[in-house]
Amino acid sequence: MAAGRVVVEVVYALPNRQLLVTLELDDGATALDAVRASGILDSFSGACAEDLSLAIWGKRVEQGLPMNEGDRVEILRPLQIDPREARRQLAKTGGVMGS
């Protein structure tokens, strides 16, 4: 890694596919800069970088958060159903989560 640069990963996961890109960015690059530089959004029509929710190692962050060496930026998808509602529906049928 060159001085003044950081190596980060950007990941986007779908139920049947995961994209992971490793990048080297300038110091001071933000989470949103990393997503844009990854090119991941080019693979998905209608995806707008400014509307994304992002996390680093599972913790939600603001798009303008500066990146640190080794950060993993995760592009979060909207929930299909509220997890509490999913558990209620499973309980009605006698099911359990994860099965």
CATH number of the CATH domain containing 37: 3.10.20.30
Q: How confident is the model over 82-96, as a mean pLDDT?
A: 80
pLDDT at 1: 59
Question: Does residue 63 sit within a domain?
Answer: yes
Q: How confident is the model over 83-96, as a mean pLDDT?
A: 80
Structure-model confidence comparison of residues 49 and 80, the more confident one = 80
Question: Does residue 99 sit within a domain?
Answer: no
Question: Does residue 44 sit within a domain?
Answer: yes
Closest CA to 1 of 67, 74, 55: 67
Domain count within the chain: 1
Contact 31, 67 (CB under 8 A): yes
Question: Does residue 26 sit within a domain?
Answer: yes
Mean pLDDT, the chain, as a whole number?
85
State how far the Cα of 17 lies from the Cα of 5, in Å rounded to an integer.
29
Per the structure, the complete domain to which residue 12 belongs is given by 5-93
| Cβ contacts of 13 within 8 Å, gap of 6 or more | 19, 74, 77
pLDDT at 47: 57
- Cα separations in angstroms, 9 against 35, 79, 82: 9, 23, 28
